[in-house]
Amino acid sequence: LSGCDSGFGQATARHLDIMGFRVFASVLDLQSPGAQELRRSCSPRLTLLQMDLTKTEDIQRVLQHIQAHTDSTGLWGLVNNAGFNDTIADAELSPLGKFRTCMEVNFFGSLELTKGLLPLLRSASGRIVTVSSPAGDMPFPCLAAYGASKAALSLVMDTFRSELQPWGIKVSLILPGYYKTGTTCDPAFWNLHKQQLLASLPQELLQAYGEDYVEEINQQFIQFMKVAVEDLSAVVNSITDGLLAANPAVRYYPGQGLGIMYFIHRYLPYFVRDLFLKGFFINPKLPRALRREHHNNSK
């Protein structure tokens, strides 16, 4: 189970431990408050492992540990939960490096871990449950770097699902709504990254969009996250169902508002969906270069 420092990973690790499972929980930092909380609240069956999904040596170390402890039994389930995003900005304003980091953690890291554990999963005809995002299915404003990595993740897991059927492995995707997890609801975290983004933007882009434009989208995002759900149980229950149900769903949609969002996405014209996503999530004002007063001033 990856990404157990906080949020879904931490809550799921605790839940599975209470149910009596032997849980291998990976965290970014063994000394983090989340890791210490798991040590305190879980049984000795739970093993905490340090893993940074961008580091092959970390992944290999975890694979060796799990292999050594499950060789005779195989591994029943893998939960890919770790995820990363620290940028709220238009795709044009998001540095290429941010796209790369999202891909490294959310896609390549999860892919490497999954491929490494597949021999053990095949021997147990086990389960793979992966936490993706509706942002990987739809073009949420200002989430291109994160969304693109989750789109890639969803697709590769869907491919595994059909390819691993002969082995008896069942693969499920979890597409949660808006929950308070980790740093997602900490305004200080987002303000710091907004300042770093503004400092790194080329002058021409800053002129075209305007500093106030970047401020505004970040403010809207922070406002939006204030209504995020604190109770993570719907997601934990979906992950648990994916691991334990005789016939788990291919996709789980825990959270509010997702039904109407996917209905609009599938059945209504694109412009309706785009309007809905802006109204629901972030509705950027016009970039500076397109505002009327700017045109009037420059004449």
The residues assigned a catalytic role are 146
Q: What does the alpha-carbon distance between residue 274 and residue 53 come to, in Å, rounded to a whole number?
A: 33
DSSP conformation letters of 39-75: HHHS-TT-EEEE--TT-HHHHHHHHHHHHHHHTTT--
1's CB contacts (< 8 A; 6+ apart) are: 9, 12, 13, 16, 23, 24, 25, 26, 78, 79, 81
Q: What sign does the dihedral 251-175-171-9 (CA atoms) show?
A: negative
DSSP conformation letters of 194-261: HHHHHHHS-HHHHHHH-HHHHHHHHHHHHHHHTT-B---HHHHHHHHHHHH-SS--SEE--SSSHHHH
Identify the helix (H) or strand (E) that includes residue 277. helix 270-280
User: What 3-state class would DSSP assign to 176?
Assistant: coil
**Residue 96 corresponds to which tokens in the numbers above?**
């290429």
Q: What are phi and psi of 101, to 5 degrees?
A: -65, -45
Q: What does the alpha-carbon distance between residue 286 and residue 127 come to, in Å, rounded to a whole number?
A: 46
What amino acid is encoded at 172 in this protein? Answer: S
Contact 1, 23 (CB under 8 A): yes
Contact 134, 150 (CB under 8 A): no
